[in-house]
Structure 1
Amino acid sequence: MDLTPLNIALMVLASTAAGLVDAIVGGGGLIMVPSLFGLFPQAVPATLLGTNKAASIWGTAWSAWQYAQRVKLPSARLMGALVATVLGSVVGAWLATRVPADRFRAALPVVLAAVWGYTLWRKDLGHTHLPHWSARTEALIATAIGGVIGFYDGVFGPGTGSFFVFALVRALGWDFLHASAAAKRLNFATNAAALAWFIPHGHVVWALALPMAAANVLGSSIGTRLALRHGAGFVRVAFLVVVGALICKTGFDAWMR
């Protein structure tokens, strides 16, 4: 990899922006992954993805900790979701080595457009935190969400954080702020599962990942404070903006192929 001072500086800027966006509603990979592939076109893709995970996991962890100080979550009910997320991610990663991602790439903009349209149509969606299931049922639904989206993250990945947020809002009746706080924990689990494979196989460039990690934590801190200060309505608007950008990006990628 061509680790010139300019390339490192550009990735530090990209990582800061990604941390900010990801802390609010997910979607930081929309910034980080294209930046890495654009600046280092000759690098092995697995190494770029591993370096991205090694940097972003720190911002995700910092954001999860900040949310935990201010947003009360039913941690016991999320334990099954965390386990299912990791298992789903591992199974998805294994399947990704055997099934081409083209089918996922083609379907993704359509699915994202449906999520975006539904959120825009339901103007009350995610404004108020109104869980409506029993503790047992909520835990089971959260576990199913973790398994399905964790599997998707292992197979393909783009928009994972945003899918977590939408699923928790729609299925559990949570507001966008609580859903975003929970999504950080689940995203941390998927990143950790991926790194358990990337690191032993040497697919992390630490000379780049470490300054990116510091920048990602900075951006994550800013993004989390903005979300906590402005509440669920702000996170909902950010969700629509980020998912709209994901639709454009994934639609363009699918069309180019």
Structure 2
Amino acid sequence: MFSNFLSDYNSWTLLALGSLAFIAGFIDSVVGGGGLIQIPALLISFPNAPIATLFGTNKIAALAGTSVAAFHYAKRITFDFKLLFVISLSCFISSFTGARIVSLINVQVLKPLILFILIAIAVYTFFKKDLGSVKTKELPYRKQIIYGAFIGLIIGFYDGFFGPGTGSFFVLAFVVVLGFEFVQASAYAKIVNCVTNISALIVFIKQGNYMLELALIMAVMNITGNIIGSKLALKKGNDFVRIIFLVVVIIMIFKYGWEVFADQGV
């Protein structure tokens, strides 16, 4: 079965998808946003495939890589497991809901709003030089739980419904709302992102929306990128993560900007 699959596709296509999965894994392990690379690569390579099938394939590869990065972070970062559980549970529920309705609503209508949010994020991060360099606030624990639950509900729904850039949104929310450092925020984002991926995958797999063999190839490369990226993030610290975060947000702005203007025929 696997050999038949390989013979059905151009070797250059598989090589390109594997290489891009590696890059996506590297970026995703540092600040999230790997879907910005993997999903367009799948869309270009398989233009006639159902969107939900490509999303399911992407989720399998992304979950594999993110799980490995989460393991590396867990060895170095101390987690508040109650807070992590609340955020993860909220994410699981909302991501599942988002994945259920992805085929019912045109996701294109969200792109102008996402573009506006991304521009605001880039400007804010660029001018606030100390953002995420140190822990900026000590919220009362009850507020941490409440804010964390809201973060999980909103971004978890986005991840199940659409997905690209979810990890970056989690990182920023943890830094700005909960006052985390960038490395700490990235570590939490990896754990929570695993949960949202699992939740959405339950839906996609149940519906048969995935290409398993292709997902396995991409998963191996994604894992490799995640291992290298997470080690670099832990070694180089908050300044490195902040720079990568800004780069990813700028890429997202160009991507969504292009799609918004293309949809409007500009």
- The TM-score with structure 1 as length reference comes to 0.96
Which residue of the partner structure matches residue 115 of structure 1? 121
User: Is the counterpart of residue 125 in structure 1 residue 147 in structure 2?
Assistant: no
How far did 1:130 drift? 4.0
The CA distance in 1 between the partners of 2:116 and 2:201, in whole Å, is 29
Give the ranges of 4+ consecutive aligned residues of structure 1 lying more than 6 Å apart after TM superposition: none
Which residue of the partner structure matches residue 28 of structure 2? 22
For residue 187 of structure 2, give the secondary structure of its aligned residue in structure 1. helix
Within the candidate set 38, 50, 54, 1:44 is matched to 50
User: Is the counterpart of residue 79 in structure 1 residue 85 in structure 2?
Assistant: yes
For residue 237 of structure 2, give the secondary structure of its aligned residue in structure 1. helix
State the AA in 1 paired with 2:182: F
Within the candidate set 87, 90, 96, 1:90 is matched to 96
The CA distance in 2 between the partners of 1:157 and 1:208, in whole Å, is 19
Question: Structure 2: any 5+ residue segments left out of the alignment?
Answer: none
How far did 1:200 drift? 2.0
The CA distance in 1 between the partners of 2:107 and 2:136, in whole Å, is 37
The CA distance in 2 between the partners of 1:188 and 1:253, in whole Å, is 28
User: Is the counterpart of residue 256 in structure 1 residue 262 in structure 2?
Assistant: yes
The CA distance in 2 between the partners of 1:203 and 1:91, in whole Å, is 16
State the AA in 2 paired with 1:181: A
How far did 1:115 drift? 0.8
Which structure 2 residues correspond to residues 1-257 of structure 1 after superposition, within 5 A?
A: 2-257=8-263
How far did 1:100 drift? 2.1
CA contact (8 A) 1:18 1:216 kept: yes
How far did 1:176 drift? 0.5
Q: Which moved more, 1:3-12 or 1:173-182?
A: 3-12
User: Could you give the per-residue CA deviations for residues 76-96 of structure 1, whole angstroms, max 9, x where no partner exists?
Assistant: 211111000011112223343
For residue 175 of structure 2, give the secondary structure of its aligned residue in structure 1. helix
Number of residue equivalences: 257
- The TM-score with structure 2 as length reference comes to 0.93
Computed over aligned residues only, the root mean square deviation of the Cα atoms, in angstroms, reads 1.3
State the AA in 2 paired with 1:216: N
How far did 1:131 drift? 4.3
CA contact (8 A) 1:93 1:155 kept: yes
